[in-house]
């Protein structure tokens, strides 16, 4: 059983860690600002790792494209074992793959000294001509006409939206296997959310919204 001294010691350690982290971030910001004032370019070390769409760790994928939005220069050749150094700050488009998996691509922003890029790779197989869909219904407090449902991949770079009809029904189309977060969103923000695995094998999908989230209007 933890003693009072142990609790105090842990709290002091946690405060020390938070203080050190804040100091480190402040020092990095100050260093970045100084570099900008001196007209120097800021560079980052970028690490890329991959999971499959159900969350199994795969390791470092082969980076086929790491193209800057400004100038469209491809830095893919700088990646070795999933790590590249000297990547200039900016916005990029990455595409990477692994054997037996489909490639994944997404936009990434590089604006700190060490950046981790997480990709979700699906097992490579022939997809049906029309991917499956998943109907569902909102119960409880229905969002206003501006509400919608959004399904976001936890590992894969996938986002699917659906409107909600007057009876609370929605339909998510074009699904692929994997782990997702399903959100019901209204004008004030996220009303409720829940994890969801595709293929879905549970009962008819119903999402209960107990109350509508409201945000004060300035």
Tell me which architecture the domain covering 133-209 has in CATH.
Sandwich (2.60)
Tell me which architecture the domain covering 42-124 has in CATH.
Sandwich (2.60)
Domain ranges of the chain: 42-124, 133-209
Compute the distance between CA of residue 133 and CA of residue 94 in angstroms, rounded to an integer. Answer: 28
Quote the pLDDT of residue 121. Answer: 94
Q: 146-178, pLDDT tens digit by residue?
A: 899 999 999 999 999 999 998 999 999 988 899
Taking the whole predicted model, whether its pTM rises above 0.75 is answered as no
- On the question of a common fold for 42-124 and 133-209, the answer reads yes
Instruction: Give the single-character DSSP code of 199.
Output: S
Is the torsion defined by CA of 107, 110, 111, 114 positive or negative? positive
What would the mean pLDDT of 3-28 be, rounded to a whole number? 47
């Amino acid at each position: 059983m933890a003693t009072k001294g142990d609790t105090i010691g842990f709290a002091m350690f946690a405060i020390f860690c938070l203080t050190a982290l804040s100091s480190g971030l402040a020092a990095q910001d100050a260093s970045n600002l100084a570099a900008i004032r001196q007209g120097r370019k800021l560079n980052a070390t970028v690490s890329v790792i991959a999971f499959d769409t159900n969350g199994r760790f795969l390791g470092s994928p082969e980076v086929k494209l790491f193209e800057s939005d400004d100038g469209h220069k491809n830095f893919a050749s700088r990646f070795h074992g999933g790590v590249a150094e000297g990547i200039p700050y900016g916005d990029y488009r990455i595409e990477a793959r692994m054997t037996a998996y489909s490639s994944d691509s997404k936009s990434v922003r590089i604006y700190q000294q060490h950046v981790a890029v997480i990709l979700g790779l699906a097992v490579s197989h022939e997809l049906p001509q029309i991917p499956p869909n998943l109907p569902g219904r909102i119960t409880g407090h229905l969002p206003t006409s501006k509400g919608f449902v959004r399904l976001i991949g936890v590992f894969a770079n996938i986002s699917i939206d659906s409107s909600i009809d007057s009876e609370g029904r929605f339909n998510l189309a074009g699904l692929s296997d994997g782990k997702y977060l399903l959100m019901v969103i209204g004008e004030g923000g996220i009303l409720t959310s829940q994890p969801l695995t595709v293929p879905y094998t549970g009962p008819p999908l119903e999402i209960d919204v107990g109350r509508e989230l409201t945000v004060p209007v300035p």
